[in-house]
Amino acid sequence: MTIAIGSSRAEIRDELSTTAFDLLVIGGGILGTSVTWMAAQAGLRVAMVDAGDFAGATSSASSKLVHGGLRYLQTGNVKLVAENHRERRALAADIAPHLVKPLTFLVPIYKGGPHGAAKLGAGVFLYSALSVFGDGMGKVITPHQALAKVPALRTEGLRAAAVYGDHQMNDSRVAVMTVRAAVDAGATVLNHAEVVGLRKTSGTVTGAELRDRLDGTEFGVSARLVLNATGPWVDHLRRMEDPNAAPSIRLSKGAHLVLRRHEPWKAALTTPIDKYRVSFAIPWEDHLLLGTTDEAYEGDPGAVSPTEADIAQILDEAGHAVRDEQLRREDITYAFAGLRVLPGGPGDVAAAKRETVVTRGSGGMLSVAGGKWTTYRHIGKHVFDTLARLPGRPLGDEIADILPAVPLPGLASPEAVAMRLWTDRERSARMDPLVARHLATHYGSIAFDLARLIREDPALGERIHPDGPDIWAQAVYARDHEWAATVDDVVRRRTTLTVRGLDTPEVRARIAALLGTG
């Protein structure tokens, strides 16, 4: 029996507890969802569970970039940049052009700054060459030209700006679409399902005992192989397998701010803070995204949040290139923080390598940590290949080859979808063009499913909050087809209400009633 999208939690729990799975993935962040998607494509019976929501922690607390990593050129890692560019362009062209969009970046060059125009000009030219000039040629422009793209740019001491191209996305929406792709390929998934113990057979980990956090139901899952992809919690689960397991990772906190934007920006800013660190100011969801910080974190991963010091640091660093009137505290609509999972060891976290760490425990459980959105498919494939080749072949020999470029659900031109949404109805009943564009760029062709909901119930076409483009059809669709079970699932990760500062008590109460949790 295959569990379809839209099945009830009870049906999914029943499927999880009665099927003998090949692979159980614990953790529904970047890594877990990618490996689950790959394993399902390879024809395996795979299950994925998460104690919170899919991408509910760090995976929805990124800088929202799909990028080659300009700063890696600084450390001479040309091969990594070229690799990142390949994945970035595949996502933008073949996998998710409805969710990943191009964005121009400026690197402002100030008098007395850490980098000169000649060095940065050469850097952005090499960067664009490594992407085969797919986003145009990196170049240096005048202060006047830079100001035309970023009206809030600070001009005192501005000598020039280097220009390059990258991409951006809404990480929560990409995560939900990846989970959906995995389920379409045959995976069984459940969020808000916490692992309370591991199943062992003759000392080998063969599954997990779980508790549904929403109603307390306890159940178990059996699998030939268990993958621990719990991100910042990876060592917590490793100690369930072996109480004496030594720490394998370190954590670095990255905080971001979202502010109201006072005028349109045609480009983002990458501002050098010192020789190695940069500060981003990125137009995103009609707002401005600022960040990020990079400091060691040793507290409870579930309690990570931006501090007053983080907020002050982000505003101060953004102020190197952004005028004060765009950095007012009263314009902050949202602040969030996530944890980078880094290899264990000495040294400063800011200098630690961003690499994937795979370890196998005494009970045979695989633990994997470290990942990023740009290369998440590549990392998922690498980890899956590692699982498939383990000694003893716990996943068996019958594993199909994974197709090189399976698109995410909804693949379509966002412009074409927005046009159809806008013109599909009588002129007097047409969808607001801003809402049409919002749905097209967050759902692709799946936006037509939401349009059908509105035709059946016109009230679902109303905005959830008058100041934002999210509509009630999105909340209903999130509940029925995107595993949204709590108010936060809807306002933070299925819509843009929280980032816009529009998840008011009244909005939250109405969504709770819609979900049946009010």
The per-residue pLDDT of the chain, averaged, comes to: 92
pLDDT band at 7 (very low <50, low <70, confident <90, very high): confident
CATH topology identical between 9-58+173-247+348-389 and 99-168+250-343: no
- Tens digits of per-residue pLDDT, 172-193? 999 999 999 999 999 999 999 9
pLDDT at res. 68: 76
Task: Place domain 99-168+250-343 in its CATH homologous superfamily.
Answer: D-Amino Acid Oxidase, subunit A, domain 2 (3.30.9.10)
Residues across the chain: 518
pLDDT at res. 186: 96
Classify the C-alpha dihedral 451-453-459-464 as positive or negative. Answer: negative
Residue 321 and residue 418: Cα distance in Å, rounded? 34
Nearest residue to 277 via CA among 338, 351, 344, 335: 351
pLDDT band at 140 (very low <50, low <70, confident <90, very high): very high
Does residue 78 register a pLDDT over 90? no
Neighbours of 43 (CB within 10 A): 15
The counts of H helices and E strands in the chain are: 15, 18
Residue 166 and residue 481: Cα distance in Å, rounded? 31
Residue 185 and residue 137: Cα distance in Å, rounded? 39
Contact 461, 471 (CB under 8 A): yes
Q: Which two tokens stand for residue 245?
A: 């397991």
Helix (H, G, I), strand (E, B) or coil at 410: coil
Percent of the chain exceeding pLDDT 70 equals 96
Q: Tell me the CATH architecture of domain 9-58+173-247+348-389.
A: 3-Layer(bba) Sandwich (3.50)
Percent of the chain exceeding pLDDT 90 equals 76
Does pTM surpass 0.85?
yes
- Tens digits of per-residue pLDDT, 21-35? 999 999 999 999 999
Mean pLDDT of all residues in 293-321: 96
Does residue 116 register a pLDDT over 70? yes
Q: Name residues whose C-beta falls within 8 Å of residue 88's C-beta, 6 or more positions apart in sequence.
A: 66, 67, 68, 131, 166, 167, 374
DSSP class of 340: E
Domain ranges of the chain: 9-58+173-247+348-389, 99-168+250-343, 414-515
Q: Which amino acid is at 511?
A: I
- Tens digits of per-residue pLDDT, 357-380? 788 999 999 999 887 899 999 999
- How close are the terminal C-alpha atoms of the chain, in Å? 33
